Amino acid sequence: MLLISCPNCGSRDETEFHYGGQAHVPYPENPSGLNDREWAEFLFYRDNTKGIFAERWLHSTGCRQWFNMLRDTVTYDIQSIYPMGAPRPDKAAAAPESGTASTAADSTTTGSAAPSIAATSITSTSTAPSTAPSTTQSGTTAPEGATK
């Protein structure tokens, strides 16, 4: 049982929360322009990180607010909890001037070689997350979780 510190309600048992999967996956900026491969990436492909993972949680039986969490998927240690729309705290510290770009690296280029699936999808998926978080950050009403 995880003990999760909800930013609004304080420490509560895991049973009060609902898991929301990978964080920082923005809705495509140009949905009508996506090909099948790119839709597959958006709908079905998520990072499955062994180690520090940025993920979303919903305090479903408490304040009913979404928030983000950095959690180690091996030890299950919770490292950081931060608001929807904010950049990953660990990546932001590593690259202070453009913290938002780090989500792109996280989701597509962690392998040593570039993924060999159609090159078009790489460019599109890497541009989408790198631009979208800055959009959602400046937006006041629509963090990426709001569409789920």
Partner 1 sequence: MSNQQLPEHPDFLWRNPEPKSSYDAVIVGGGGHGLATAYFLAKNHGMTNIAVLEKGWLAGGNMARNTTIIRSNYLWDESAAIYEHALKLWEVLPEELEYDFLFSQRGVMNLAHTLGDVRESIRRVGANKLNGVDAEWLEPDQVKELCPILNISDNIRYPVMGATYQPRAGIAKHDHVAWAFARKCDELGVDIIQNCEVTGFVKDGNRVVGVKTNRGTINTEKVGLCAAGHSSVLAEMAGFRLPIQSHPLQALVSELHEPVHPTVVMSNHVHVYVSQAHKGELVMGAGVDSYNGYGQRGSFHVIEHQMAAAVELFPIFARAHVLRTWGGIVDTTLDASPIVGTTPVENMFVNCGWGTGGFKGTPAAGLTFAHTIATGTPHELNRPFALERFETGALIDEHGAAAVAH
Residue located via tokens 């999760």: 4
Q: Give 106-119 as a DSSP string.
A: HHH--SSSPP-S-H
Residues 118-147 that bind partner 1 (CB under 8 A): none
- Out of 30, 32, 111, 141, point to the residue binding partner 1 (CB under 8 A): 111
Please give the sequence-ordered ranges of beta strands (E in DSSP) within 14-88, or none if there are none: 18-22, 52-58, 66-72, 78-82
> Is residue 47 within 8 Å of 128, Cβ to Cβ?
no
Q: Does 80 bind partner 1 (CB under 8 A)?
A: no
Q: Does 43 bind partner 1 (CB under 8 A)?
A: yes
- Out of 93, 94, 95, 114, point to the residue binding partner 1 (CB under 8 A): 114
Q: Which amino acid is at 3?
A: L
Q: Does 32 bind partner 1 (CB under 8 A)?
A: no
Q: Does 61 bind partner 1 (CB under 8 A)?
A: no
Q: Does 64 bind partner 1 (CB under 8 A)?
A: no
- Out of 7, 31, 40, 139, point to the residue binding partner 1 (CB under 8 A): 40
- Out of 8, 13, 61, 123, point to the residue binding partner 1 (CB under 8 A): 13
Structural tokens at position 115: 């993924």
Q: How far apart are CA 56 and CA 120, in angstroms?
A: 28
β-pairing, 10-13 vs 18-22, is: unpaired
Q: Which residues bind partner 1 (CB under 8 A)?
A: 1-2, 13-15, 18-19, 21, 36-37, 39-41, 43-46, 48-50, 53, 55, 71, 73-76, 108, 110-117
